[in-house]
């Protein structure tokens, strides 16, 4: 079952974020706390779709709306993960398809996300959709803490 996350799901969402960070060899990079998630969820900073299996959150897509000066309203997919033991069961497809429908309902012109260049399973997953992979733009980050 795919549904919008509730505040009660956030601990399991954070667990999935940490699982993703371990997969990406960056476990120390997750510094946001459950309190951070709860505060910003309550402030409508982000929304999350969750995949539920056996009454457990086994996948999630965390996103927020942004504005493109060239294209208009855009949905930014910050994290998309299905727990390792639940992969290859179609859960990711259901979750991503629901994300696409959500973006359409929100009148987004596009969905934007990042994927590591070495993450072949994710790249192959995204290739099943009419995805455009951008090799031209360089990502920039300015850390304030």
- The residues annotated with a catalytic role in the active site are 126
Cα angle 103, 10, 24; round to 5: 80
Helices (H), the chain: 10-23, 34-42, 91-105, 120-126
Q: Which residues pair with 111 in a beta bridge?
A: 75
């Amino acid at each position: 079952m795919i549904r919008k996350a509730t505040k009660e799901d956030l601990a399991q969402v954070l667990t999935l974020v940490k699982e993703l960070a371990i997969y990406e060899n960056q476990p120390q990079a997750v510094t946001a706390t459950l309190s951070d998630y709860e505060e910003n969820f309550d402030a409508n900073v982000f929304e999350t779709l969750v995949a539920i299996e056996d009454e457990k959150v086994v996948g999630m897509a965390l996103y927020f709306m942004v504005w493109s000066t060239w294209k208009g309203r855009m949905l930014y997919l910050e994290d998309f993960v299905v727990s390792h033991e639940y992969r290859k069961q179609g859960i990711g497809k259901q979750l991503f398809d629901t994300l696409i429908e959500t973006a359409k309902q929100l009148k987004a012109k596009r969905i934007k996300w990042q994927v590591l260049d070495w993450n072949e399973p994710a790249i192959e997953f995204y290739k099943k959709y009419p995805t455009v992979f951008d090799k031209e733009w360089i990502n920039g980050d300015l850390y304030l803490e």
